[in-house]
Structure 1
Amino acid sequence: MNWIAFTVFIALFALVTVLGFIASHWRRGDLDLIDEWGLAGRRLGTFITWFLLGGDLYTAYTFVAVPALVFGAGAIGFFALPYTIIVYPFVFVVFPRLWSVAQKHGYVTASDFVRGRFDSQPLALAVAVTGIFATMPYIALQLVGIQVVLAGMGISGTGFVSDLPLVIAFVILAAFTYTSGLRAPAVIAVVKDLLIYATVLTAIVVIPIELGGYGKIFASVPAGKLILPEPPGGSFGSYSAYATLALGSAFALFLYPHSVTGVLSASSRRAIMRNSALLPAYTFLLGLIALLGYMAIAAHVGDMPAFASYFKQYGPNFAVPALFLATFPSWFVGFAFAAIAIGALVPAAIMSIATANLYTRNIHRVYFQPNCTKAQESKIAKLASLVVKFGALAFILFLPQKYAIQLQLLGGVWIIQTLPAVVLGLYTGWLHRHALLIGWAAGIVAGTAMVASLGFSTSVYPLHIGGLTIPCYAALSSLVINLVITVAFTWLFNVARAKPGRDATIEIDYQEAVL
């Protein structure tokens, strides 16, 4: 047991716990309203939105998994950099329109918008269910980051005692989220990001000095891990895999419910546009985090006997904790591990709130209690967020970790199928509501089948076109199927004069902010 590291860890964790509870008094609002509890009253300015979205999108699992992928697989792990560069121009163009129409009509979720735009409750339900199922394993995977750093401090093994710190952390998370709503992760995100930046900037200076400089680090990395391997004849190999992973991930990222929640909590269109310009700073940070994978190779942490059991249990995910344990004094290890653990709490809180909003507004209120009051609606959302959190906790405690990873692979494939209804719906009402539902179903089935055929080991599916083999991210190829079917059936329904839905929006709703 590393008591010094654990003491620092507990001190910082206690700090964010206090902040989580007192956040309910920050920009005080009536937390019996779902807008106030689930969207912080839609009053978050540019500064706080930047931290909230950064804390939401760059998670503890990112901090652990990206360098782990570089450590294990090499250069392919850097696909996360171009995709987080591609995504922000996309956000700049598209999501101010979603904010405006949501502000005008009081929409809390993407499904609210879809129902209003296309007058289709089944389509809205499909978007809501997709968002919930795509996010649940994402929440569970945040626990992986906490598990790994707890193990690094000596808290590991089997049985209830080893799981108790994780349970306590999630009980605390559940309590302050229930009490403060989105205000809690918004406030904690500031502390989390400061800790992450301090940790990474220290690591990229100190670790290379310890290892003899960046030249020696790159010289010690096997050549096959420094660049993408050249594909054989008749195949695009890792090139197309890298490109489609980046592009598909960029399209999918802001369709996740927690991303939409972050966007809709902003105080203005301008706050979203400013953040689209400012958030690439996190991409720079992500590049530095990815380099930790190469540093772990150069430090030979995988060969150190002290870490053998941990690598056996957690695989490459233990690369970053091992690197920090091998390099830094115990007090800084506690600081860094706290940054990772707090980096799990922020996105887990936002994800649970976002899925609770979806369940409450688009399932419970529609199918179970259509006449519920605003106070009842908020209460249901709070209870739903608890169920989501403890469901994710049970998932990671009682099922093999590989299931969470497999479902998270499918999460990206599933959530991108909502793009035609949500993103294209922001620009046109031409697509027929029934066609969108059929296209969504086709994309879900096709994408899931692709990943299942690969044994859920990867989401890169080899497409055979003519004499070429094109490895392609299953989310992107299934989205193409979705779009083709949606357009084709829209044409057929229009020819058959099938009744379109009544659009509750008008063009000006997408263009002007409500003052």
Structure 2
Amino acid sequence: MKDLLIYLAIVVAVIYLPSTFGGWGSIFDDADAKMSTTNPATGKPAGAIIPGMTSFNAYWTLALGSAMALFMYPHSITGVLATKSRNTIRRNAVVLPLYSLMLGFLALLGYVAIKAGTMPVDTNGTINAQLVVPQLFLDTFPSWFAGVALAAIAIGALVPAAIMSIAASNLFTRNIYRDLIKPDVTPRTEAKISKLVSLLVKVGALVFVLGMDQSSAINLQLLGGIWILQTFPAIVAGLYTRWFNKWALLVGWAAGMVYGTIAAYNVVNPATGKHFGGSIAAIPWTHTTVYIGVTAFVLNAVVAAVGTLVLRAFKVEDTADSTRSTDYEVDEDDVRVQPVPDELRAELS
């Protein structure tokens, strides 16, 4: 339902709106004129925010780092582990690029809003650019279809938020509560704790939304991408090889986290003067600007590799690998993942 509503709203918009405002040629002409005007906050043309030739490295490293970080998020892992079989994952992977195409369509609506002269006014009377697409729908579509589009936006936010909160609660229950607080916790209690933590995560997210300015949400998202990318060496390398020492991976992760956080803090938004103003910075001792997450990832991997060699030289023992090759080939008909019998379930509870 979420996907159908979102695609319906976006596809109708990219077909209907150009016919209303003179076609894409006229829309892009007005957007070009708008981008050529000077932004009083920065003293630069408004179009300066669009990557130019000097920003190509920043653009492709941001795309690469974001792609690498995508499946490192706990909610992505939760979705993968909840599938029935490998074929389910394959089918979804085929459809996944359509979401990127949809984001491209959504970006085009920003140019339409320039042509339409959309003024996204927030509840406090100030201009809030993040409301431009909903305001565009309200201004140009009948009220019934604008309602459909706004419902798509709401559901499109609620579904991922629910999955994220479930993933966060699973992480807490399995890795903190059961391991460090109550190792003998029953499955029933574990489920209750997980549900409670999931609710607390949702409430915490709501507090962030209501209590912080809109730019903070974007900056935290950018910072989260930098942070989560630092788990890539441990997770991905751990799936394919046991070459890295676990302590070296931990030190590499810490190095990437510290560098990424400090580098992101030093990025100042020229319009507001606030820290954490972006995720692009120059590589240390160079003038080449790239995505901070990628630079931190390279530092992370190098420290992990060097640390592994050093620990091996000092003959520091590592944990033995207890996985088997067959563990990677378990489908829904495998006896190891069959539903627990009712008698055993009752006994466990």
2:216 aligned residue: 403
Choose which of 275, 290, 300 in structure 2 pairs with 1:472.
290
1:341 aligned residue: 154
Query: Which runs of no fewer than 5 residues in structure 1 stay unpaired?
Result: 1-190, 232-236
> How many pairs align?
314
TM-score by length of 2: 0.85
SS state of the match for residue 461, structure 1?
A: strand
| Contact 2:66–2:225 under 8 Å retained in 1 | yes
2:197 aligned residue: 384
Choose which of 303, 310, 328 in structure 2 pairs with 1:485.
303
| Contact 2:121–2:127 under 8 Å retained in 1 | no
1:261 aligned residue: 78
TM-score by length of 1: 0.58
SS state of the match for residue 500, structure 1?
A: coil
Query: Superposed, which structure 2 residues align to 1:231-246 within 5 Å?
Result: 231=53, 237-246=54-63
- Distance in 2 (alpha carbons) for counterparts of 1:256 and 1:312: 36
- Distance in 1 (alpha carbons) for counterparts of 2:52 and 2:194: 50
- Distance in 2 (alpha carbons) for counterparts of 1:397 and 1:308: 17
- Distance in 2 (alpha carbons) for counterparts of 1:229 and 1:199: 28
- Distance in 1 (alpha carbons) for counterparts of 2:69 and 2:96: 17
Give 1:387 shift.
0.9
Higher relative contact order (CA 8 A, sep 6+): 1
**1:196 and 2:17 aligned:** no
Query: Superposed, which structure 2 residues align to 1:299-310 within 5 Å?
Result: 299-302=116-119, 307-308=120-121
Call closer, same or farther: CA 1:266–1:314 in 2, change over 3 Å: farther
Choose which of 11, 16, 19 in structure 2 pairs with 1:209.
19
Q: CA RMSD in A?
A: 2.0
Give 1:410 shift.
1.1
- Distance in 2 (alpha carbons) for counterparts of 1:351 and 1:292: 28
| Contact 1:228–1:239 under 8 Å retained in 2 | no
- Distance in 2 (alpha carbons) for counterparts of 1:281 and 1:401: 28
**1:325 and 2:143 aligned:** no
Larger radius of gyration: 2
Call closer, same or farther: CA 1:425–1:323 in 2, change over 3 Å: same
SS state of the match for residue 221, structure 1?
A: helix
- Distance in 2 (alpha carbons) for counterparts of 1:374 and 1:409: 36
- Distance in 1 (alpha carbons) for counterparts of 2:50 and 2:205: 35
1:507 aligned residue: 325
Give 1:409 shift.
1.8
Call closer, same or farther: CA 1:405–1:278 in 2, change over 3 Å: closer
1:54 aligned residue: none
Greater share of helix residues, 1 or 2? 1
State the Cα deviation string for residues 361-400 of structure 1 (Å, max 9, x = none).
0111111011001111111111110111111112222333
Residue identity (%): 48
| Contact 2:84–2:331 under 8 Å retained in 1 | no
**1:372 and 2:190 aligned:** no
- Distance in 2 (alpha carbons) for counterparts of 1:310 and 1:241: 35
Call closer, same or farther: CA 1:242–1:342 in 2, change over 3 Å: same
State the Cα deviation string for residues 58-99 of structure 1 (Å, max 9, x = none).
xxxxxxxxxxxxxxxxxxxxxxxxxxxxxxxxxxxxxxxxxx
